[in-house]
Amino acid sequence: MLRAKGQFWTPDWVAEFMIAYVLCDRPKRLLDPALGAGVFFRAAKQHAESRGFELSLFGRDVDSGVIEQARRSGLSIDDLQHLEIRDFVLDPPSEKFPAIVVNPPYLRHHRLSLPQKMALRVFARTAIGRRIDGRAGLHVYFLIRALQTLSPGGRLGYLVSADICEGVFAQTLWQWIASKYKLDAVIDFSSEAAPFPDVDTNALVFCIQNAPPSKYLNWIKCHQRSSEELTSLLLGKARKKNHTIEVHRRDLAEAISTGLSRPPSQAEVDRYTLGDFASVRRGIVTGANDFFFMTLAKAKQLGIPEALLTKAVGRTRDVVGEDFSPEDVERLEALGRPTRLLNVNNLSFDQLPASVQAYLKEGEKRGFDQKTLIQTRKPWYRTEVRIPPPILFAYLGRRNARFIRNCAGVVPLTCLLCVYPNHDDTNFLDRLWGVLSHPQTVNNLRKVGKSYGGGAIKVEPRALERLPLPDDLVQREGLAKYAQAKQASLVDLFDRSSQVADEEAKAL
């Protein structure tokens, strides 16, 4: 399903309604800038033939292997005569097209080379006049280029993962689009109708015109793998009653603010967010867990003193339930799971015990000091530091996204986020926990998280700080007074510049 180039094959029924939308004005030319196996070409040929108009097909792809794949799928040499093996984003067509349909390559930022990433960021800045965060994937730049390639009055059908509406770049991107183009419809899919049911991604379809912006759009939830009712709606043939889709007429500003991948917000704006009471940081990135993270038994075998070790947890499934206790650390040790993180930051190499010096030298022999992230550290074995957070957060899961009381005083690796309350007294912590552990609050995670297949969500640190806290719970727990007079959180005991550096490093 996932090609090496980051492509998920488009189902025929999805191609049918997307093609119906972009060809509804009977244009003479269609562009698919990520041809793949040619599903959109096949649907376009059938659509044009059934409606009796001539259509020329133009395609792009960076993989020459798609030619044979497209031939095997039923396309002829004539169908592929305008196919070019060229980079659509960085080497775009010289002409514009009245109809563009695309399922772009889904390549996340960490799979892009540094030169490619830098070129894409320069392109985006030039195209929209704003900086796109470095964590944007290739599919984001594909959308910008596709819109630039659209003729006046032309239509774009864009099938893409929901994170294009939920990443740190989303507000910048969609505010630009909303100011320049008409967003006709956004189509979301229930789990029963997911275009890619076996892939851990949640898909959306965007229907966009190169026309003056509109204040409203249709937000559609598709509940069945069928194109009939979607096609009728997108062609302006609305039915009195739909059976496979639900349609919401949404205010564009509300939709962008709430998130185009999320249902309309019916509730009043919440007065409080987690950021009013706590700050959030990601867990520790070691760059080489198999070297820095170990069992207590291994540390003893190596002769590493307990004083140079920090208790840590390395994966979400090591935490059972909503409390993590000292007994849980012992349980993990008994299971052979690592629970100790090497921490020699406060000592020079000469001050370290001979056993630790020997271990670090062995690490150099094994090339750990040359790993991409590690080689930026001075010295290379200096690891990140976190104060053990009173509350942990499991930020990626289906039914398992949750807050966790850190009774064991561990620091998390990147599997968990650190939640640092703005006050360190036990009473405040208990009250905050009462709000965070409540099902209403956990339910609100979908308002700030990125959605993935099968109902999974992922919540980044800054997004978690925006988590709405139900007003009635805040009042019930007596937390409102704390939001008015914020104090420095525990994390502020460390240099704030390190947090900025963390985010910038992640963005590169």
pLDDT digits (tens, 9 = 90+) for 362-420: 999 999 999 988 988 999 999 999 999 999 998 765 456 689 999 999 999 999 999 99
Query: Helices 138-148 and 114-128, interaxial angle, to 10°?
Result: 40
pLDDT above 80: residue 251: yes
Residue with tokens 């984003």: 89
Rounded to the nearest angstrom, the gap between the alpha carbon of residue 267 and the centroid of all alpha carbons in its chain is 25
Q: Rounded distance, CA 47 to CA 45, Å? A: 5
Mean pLDDT of all residues in 59-78: 89
Q: Rounded distance, CA 173 to CA 281, Å? A: 25
459-508 tens-digit pLDDT: 889 889 989 999 999 999 999 888 854 444 444 444 443 443 444 344 44
> Alpha helix locations (H) across 317-421?
326-334, 354-365
- H-run or E-run covering 442: helix 439-443
pLDDT at 400: 60
What phi and psi values does residue 323 have, to the nearest 5 degrees? -135, 140
Query: What is the gyration radius of the CA atoms in the chain, in angstroms?
Result: 26
- Write the CB contacts of 457 (distance below 8 Å, at least 6 apart in sequence): 396, 397, 398, 401, 445, 446, 449, 450, 451
Mean pLDDT of all residues in 52-77: 91
pLDDT at 487: 46
232, 267 Cβ separation under 8 angstroms = no
Q: Rounded distance, CA 17 to CA 25, Å? A: 14
Structure tokens at 128: 């929209």
Structure tokens at 350: 């000469």
pLDDT at 7: 55
pLDDT at 433: 94
pLDDT above 60: residue 163: yes
Mean pLDDT of all residues in 59-76: 89
pLDDT above 70: residue 71: yes
pLDDT at 22: 97
pLDDT at 458: 81
Q: Rounded distance, CA 357 to CA 79, Å? A: 66
DSSP summary character for residue 244: S
List where CATH 3.40.50.150 sits in the chain.
25-216
pTM metric for this prediction = 0.69
pLDDT at 154: 97
pLDDT at 42: 95
pLDDT at 340: 97
pLDDT at 2: 44
pLDDT above 60: residue 313: yes
* Average model confidence (pLDDT) across the chain: 87
Chosen CATH of 25-216 out of 3.40.50.150, 3.30.465.10, 1.10.10.10, 2.40.50.1070: 3.40.50.150
Q: Rounded distance, CA 427 to CA 84, Å? A: 66
3-state helix, strand, coil in the chain (%, to 5): 40, 20, 40
Indicate the pLDDT class of residue 296, thresholds 50, 70 and 90.
Answer: very high
- H-run or E-run covering 309: strand 309-313
pLDDT at 308: 96
pLDDT at 452: 67
Among the residue ranges 111-125, 369-383, 429-443, the one predicted with the least confidence is: 111-125
Q: Rounded distance, CA 154 to CA 220, Å? A: 21
Among the residue ranges 101-105, 112-116, 209-213, the one predicted with the least confidence is: 112-116
Coil, helix or strand at residue 100: strand
147, 167 Cβ separation under 8 angstroms = no
Residue of 450 and 32 predicted with greater confidence: 32
Residue of 8 and 21 predicted with greater confidence: 21
pLDDT at 505: 41
